Every structure is written in C-alpha cells, then in structure tokens.
Amino acid sequence: MAQPLLEVRDLRTHFELEDGVVKAVDGVSLTVRRGRTLAVVGESGCGKSVTARSILRLVEHPARIVGGQILLYGDQPSDDPLDLLAAKDKRLRQVRWSEIAMVFQEPMASLSLVHTIGDQIIEAIRLHGGVGKVEARHRAIEFLGRVGIPDPKRRVDSYPFELSGGMRQRAMIAMALSCRPRLLIADEPTTALDVTTQAQILDLLQDLQQELGMAIMLITHDLGVAAQVADEVAVMYLGEVVEHGPAASVLSEPKHPYTQALVRSVPRLGQRGQGRLAAVRGTVPPPYERPSGCRFHPRCDAFMAGKCDSTVPTRVRSDDTDVACLLYGEEER
C-alpha cells in the first residue's frame, strides 16, 4: 500500500475534570490517504470531534492529549514523517493551515464577527505564503470566487454577519483552502445548514478536492453524508475506532455489530411499511464508567457472555476492513 498522508496511532485525549477523568479519546488509530476522503462517523460524544482537534493540538483545558502519535508524511517517500504531538510549537504553527487546515461546524461562531472575511483570509495567506498585501488580497478574492461566492470583489470586505449561513461556510472553506493544504479536516461542516445548502457544500468540497488534490477528513454523525462523499470510513464508539475500511464495504456490509446497528437505523427512501426504524439498543454508558472488555458489549446484539465482557478486542483485518470485535479474529488472523 502507498504511503499514507496522515496516520493517527493510539491517540489518547482525556478530560481531567474535578469528578474524575473522562477518556474522550482512548486509543484511536486511523489513516488518511493522499487525495482521498476519510469519513469519521459515530454518535454524539464518541470522541470524533476531539480526535479532529487533537490532530492540530487544538484541545484546551480541561482536555489534554496524554498519549499516541500523529504522523504527517512528507511528499517524498524518503522523508521522515513528522510527529505532530512531539513537534515544537513553532514547527506546529507552520503545519497549521499551510499543510492541515480545518473547517468548523458553526461558521458564524468560527469566524470573528468584528473582522471582515477578507481580513481573516488575507491574514492566513500572508502568514504562510510570505506574499504582500495586494497579492494576498488578490488570492483571497480568487478563492472566494472559487467557492462560489458571487461578486467576491465586494464580498471580500463583508463581515460574516452580512452573509447567509451557506455563504459563511463557503467563506470559511475559502479561508481553509487559501494556503492549499494537503489535508482538510472538516468537523461537521454541514450540520448547521439546511439540506439543500448541505448538498451544495458537499459537492463543492468534492469539486475542490479534485481540483487541488487534497485529502479530506470529514467528521460527521450522518451516515448519509459519509456515503455520499467518503472513500473510506472510520466508525468510532466511546473513544475508539471499531471499524475502519473502504466506504463501500463498511456501509453496505458492516462487520462490527455497532456499525450494523447504525446502518440499520438510517431510514431509506422507498422502504415504507417495514415497521419501526431500528435504533441502536440501550444508551451510551456514563462517561466515567467504561464497560469492561468490549466497550459495546452492554448494547450488543451478538453479546457472548464470559467473552465480550472480559476480553478487550484488538483490531483485526477481515476482508478489506479492520474491525475490533471478538466475533472476528482467531481464524482470520
């Protein structure tokens, strides 16, 4: 297999709260391939957002990255990968935006409301591009045009609150792409938008990916979104990746019982009259009490007493998918 772009190995990010430690991300490993889209899916609270933020070391107190490696590979196979968790602050700041950029969920909250969008884009371009004001402004306008904002020459001087929600997210994307990063991390980029705008933004992301050849790591709770754009899918549950493989395999023939339950719970067009939607049984356990053995066992339909509640499953390869479940393993290992 070709060298990946980004490899997250055994990432652990914990929230050190007064009442105890919440292990929001506890041993996440995943891989982003060059020029491809990886969708990270899971229920709210499974740690996917924290994972995304940990990559650029953006987590703040009380959260703390306590272990793992985040390896960013260079263009040449001979280059040594850079471990972002071990990198010096200055080196990390160079990586931020110029190599890995981010798009956040709420464009209104993620953009400063007292600066024009032009100001905020130009700032990034000048910081990493080493170009003059005029040139940077030129590029800002160019990117605003590229993401489909009409009349970018005028809009560059607008404040975020003067734009609609969809336009704001486009501006945010323009800002993220302005330094031509190799990886774009999009954290629920369409959740705050209506369905039509959502589709437009997803299309836009795919087009730009073709054009600029970057990889995308898309954080979403929506399997539909993942199916639409992802080349690969990583399914997270309670702070770890339980299944990781090509989108087609994971979403059409899920291996892990949790993924299976997720897929069953998505309503499908044209399938009326088949009774109630299947939900994932039970609830997410309280954050201080992680179940023993396989973390999913209290909610699992395929629970094997005496095994699942005592043995921690390791990730094993089944067909083209990695899966962390005791149903798989032994014979295939």
Partner 1 sequence: MLRYLARRLGWMVVTLAAISFVTFVVIKLPPGDYTSTVIANAEARGQAIPESQIAELKRHYGLDKPFLVQYWTWISGVVLHGDLGQSFAWNQSVASLIGNRVLLSIVLSIASLLFVWSIAFPIGIYSALRQYSPGDYLASFLGFIGMAVPEFMLALVMMYIGFRYFGQSVGGLFSPEYADAAWNLGKLLDLISHLWVPIVVVGVAGTASLIRITRANLLDELHKPYVATARAKGLPEWKLLLKYPVRMSLSPFFSTVGWLLPGLISGETIVSVVMSLPTSGPLLLSGVKSQDMYLVGSFVLILSALTVIGTMLSDLALAWWDPRIRHRLSKG
Partner 2 sequence: MVQTIQAQPAPPPQAEPEVVKSLRDHGALPQWRLMWRQFRRHKLALIGLIVLVPIYFIAVFSGFFAPAASDSAHTALPYAPPQRVHFSSEHGLFVYGYSSTRDQETFEQTFTVDKNKIVDVGLFVRGDEYKILGLIPSDIHLIGPVKAGDPFFLLGADQSGRDLLSRLIHGARVSLSIGLVGVLAASVLGLLIGGISGYLGGPIDNAIQRVIEFIMSIPTLPLWMALSASLPDSWGPLTRYFAITVILSLIGWTGLARDVRGRFLSLREEDFVMAARLDGVSRGGIIFGHMVPSFASHIIATVSMAVPTMILGETSLSFLGLGLQAPAVSWGVLLEGAQNIRAVATAPWLLAPGLAVVVVVLAMNFVGDGLRDAADPYK
Q: Closest CB to partner 1 among 83 and 119?
A: 119
Q: Which of residues 58, 279, 302, 312 is near partner 1 by CB under 8 A?
A: 58
Residue 307 tokens, joined: 């095994």
- For partner 1, give the closer residue by CB, 121 or 247: 121
Give the dihedral sign, CA 128/133/139/140: positive
Which of 1, 2, 114, 305 forms a contact with partner 1 (CB under 8 A)? 114
Q: Smallest distance, Å, CB 207 to partner 2?
A: 25
Measured from the CB atom, the residue of 133 and 264 that comes closer to partner 2 is 264
Q: At what angle do helices 117-129 and 165-177 cross, to 10 degrees?
A: 10
Taking CA atoms, 125 is separated from 116, 117, 141, 174, 220, in Å, by 15, 13, 12, 11, 28
- The rounded distance, in Å, linking the Cα atoms of 115 and 259 is 43
**312 touches, from partner 1, partner 2, none (C-beta below 5 to 8 Å by class):** none
- In eight-state DSSP terms, residue 96 is B
Q: Which of 10, 17, 157, 310 binds partner 2 (CB under 8 A)?
A: 17
CA distances from 65 to 15, 16, 51, 84 (A): 9, 10, 10, 12
Q: Name which of partner 1, partner 2, none residue 97 binds, using a CB cut-off of 5 to 8 Å depending on partner kind.
A: partner 1
Minimum gap (Å) between residue 56 Cβ and partner 2? 13
Residue 51 Cβ, how far from partner 2 at the closest point, in Å? 12
Considering the rule CB under 8 A, would residue 288 count as an interface residue with partner 1? no
Per CB under 8 A, contacts with partner 2 among 116-155 are none
What the block records as the tokens of 183 is 């990886």
231 scored as a contact of partner 1 (CB under 8 A): no
The residue within the footprint of partner 2, chosen from 102, 111, 156, 280 (CB under 8 A), is 280
Q: CA 241, CA 30: separation in Å to the nearest integer? A: 8
Beta-bridge partners for 21 = 16
The single residue among 28, 50, 117, 217 that binds partner 2, judged by CB under 8 A, is 50
Residue type for position 193: L
DSSP 160: G
Binding site for partner 1 (CB under 8 A): 53, 56, 58, 60, 92-98, 101-102, 104, 106, 109-115, 123-124, 127-128, 159, 161-162
